[in-house]
Amino acid sequence: MFLEACAQNAGLGEPSLAELIALKAEARRVPLNAHLELTYRCNEQCVHCYCVVEHGKEREARARELTTAEIVRVLDDLAELGGLYLTLSGGEVLVRPDFFEIAAHARKAGFAYRIYTNGIGLNASRIERLAALEPLTVELSIFSADAAVHDGITRVPGSFDRLMRNVALLKAHGLRVYLKSVMMKPNIAGFADLHRLGRELGVFTHIFACEVSPRIDGPILKPRQYQLDENELVDYLGQSVLPATEPLFEGASEDIAKQRDTCGPAVNSCCIDPYGNVYPCVAFRVPLGNVREKPLRELWYAPPPAIQDLLSVKKYEDLTECSSCELIGFCKRCHGDNLLERGGSDWKSCHPHARTFASAQRRVYQIQKAGRPS
Ligand code: SF4
Ligand code: SF4
């Protein structure tokens, strides 16, 4: 889920143009991609969610959230710092009564912005208002083509039917709809049907992921019980409807380590949580500070020592274990996920979760390579 939400991995327009802009932003350390979490409250309670506030605790959470005026100031500050791509995310963004005001301000401030929503709080008039605000994409989670399985994951009876109705309405209003599916133990058996459903719905794109991220608070590793194990990952990644697996780089580990950049949290991205804390990205939960205490500009340009340490890691060769790892060509380590998984320390060591994925990817690659005509 972090990878799917991660600005470093987002599909943002034409690759060549996006890459060019990203390179400039990286060189100048501009927060080009901002992930703004408006609330952790939600009208669903997905079993694997990394942030949702439990039902019964919403009032307390809401009282701590940034006000509309504070969010408007954050958006203006971000725009002034050079922010261009904005993700409005939750929890569920539509539980905030001021959501449309916030989206309208994001548009006015010149952001190309994406909206993450579970879709069940939409209706015809809300979709009409949304269409008028011209978001880049509206991105909705779907877990199964089987209503009972989807509703079992969201823990809201009827959520599948409401989602289907609203996908049709969003499309009818010309909005660019992305469906996003995390494949996990409870829904993996229905992958082929879900893939087919995405095609039948004719959405702009249907993104599949298979990473289940730790929670950012409380029982950190609770969502991981839903994660596919290595053998299940091999079965999943080897399916013919998914792109063939290729190594990101080939060659000796040491040579790859020199070439490969790590992801760049706090270089050209940031994440701001509902309470004003500014993080390097959606996963790396060490704050630069809080916008209620200091202006965003100050937080961005004078990061604390822990963030300066993060900024010093640029290549895989800067990480001792990675620099000689046999899986380096397949690995997509996430410093933030590793930090959470390791209980807040030692994030430079091997990321065990990424290792499982990399190992599965390599097995699939070897199987696919052996099956190709020579
Ligand atoms: S598997 Fe571990 S040591 Fe190897 S590249 Fe990935 S994070 Fe680094
Ligand atoms: S640590 Fe890196 S890979 Fe993980 S979410 Fe942050 S930028 Fe993305």
How far is the centre of ligand 1, averaged over its atoms, from the C-alpha of 347 (Å)?
11
Give the mean pLDDT of 278-287.
Answer: 96
Confidence tier at 16 by pLDDT (50, 70, 90): confident
Q: What is the pLDDT of residues 318-340, one digit of tens each?
A: 999 999 999 999 999 999 999 99
The pLDDT assigned to 8 comes to 60
| Ligand 1 pocket, residue 351 CB under 6 Å | yes
User: Which residues, other chains included, contact 15 with Cβ-Cβ below 8 Å and sequence gap of 6+?
Assistant: none
How far is the centre of ligand 1, averaged over its atoms, from the C-alpha of 279 (Å)?
23
Confidence tier at 240 by pLDDT (50, 70, 90): confident
Q: In angstroms, how far is CA 100 from the centroid of its own chain?
A: 22
Confidence tier at 222 by pLDDT (50, 70, 90): confident
H helices within 223-329, ranges in order?
A: 230-237, 253-259, 296-301, 305-311
Confidence tier at 14 by pLDDT (50, 70, 90): low
**Whole-structure pTM value:** 0.92
How far is the centre of ligand 1, averaged over its atoms, from the C-alpha of 353 (Å)?
9
Give the mean pLDDT of 146-154.
Answer: 98
Q: How far apart are CA 68 and CA 65, in angstroms?
A: 9
| Ligand 1 pocket, residue 322 CB under 6 Å | yes
Give the mean pLDDT of 144-172.
Answer: 98
- pLDDT beyond 60 at 168: yes
Closest ligand 1 atom, residue 358 Cα:
1
> Long-range contacts: 274-279, Cβ < 8 Å, 24+?
274/37, 274/38, 274/39, 274/40, 274/61, 274/64, 274/65, 274/66, 274/91, 275/64, 275/65, 275/66, 276/66, 276/70, 276/74
The pLDDT assigned to 345 comes to 82
Q: What are phi and psi of 99, to 5 degrees?
A: -55, -45
3-state secondary structure of 118: coil
Q: Which ligand ends up closest to the CA of 282?
A: 2
Instruction: Find the helix or strand (DSSP H, E) in which 177 lies.
Output: strand 177-182
Q: How far apart are CA 278 and CA 284, in angstroms?
A: 10
CB of 270 closer than 8 Å to CB of 279? yes
| Ligand 1 pocket, residue 257 CB under 6 Å | no
Q: What is the pLDDT of residues 173-193, one digit of tens each?
A: 999 999 999 999 999 999 999
Give the mean pLDDT of 66-79.
Answer: 98
Give the mean pLDDT of 158-181.
Answer: 98
Q: How far apart are CA 249 and CA 203, in angstroms?
A: 32
Q: What is the pLDDT of residues 123-135, one digit of tens each?
A: 999 999 999 999 9
Length of the chain: 374
The pLDDT assigned to 6 comes to 67
CB of 242 closer than 8 Å to CB of 206? no
Lowest mean pLDDT among 17-21, 67-71, 339-343: 17-21
Which residue in 232, 190, 193, 189 sits closest to 211, CA to CA? 232
Confidence tier at 4 by pLDDT (50, 70, 90): low
How far is the centre of ligand 1, averaged over its atoms, from the C-alpha of 322 (Å)?
5
CB of 167 closer than 8 Å to CB of 126? no
Q: Which ligand ends up closest to the CA of 268?
A: 2
Task: Share the mean pLDDT of the chain.
Answer: 93
In one-letter notation, the amino acid at residue 44 is E
Q: Ligand 2, residues 3, 50, 85, 263: which to mutate, most atoms within 8 A of Cβ?
A: 263
Place of tokens 């209503």: 147
More confident residue, 221 or 300: 300
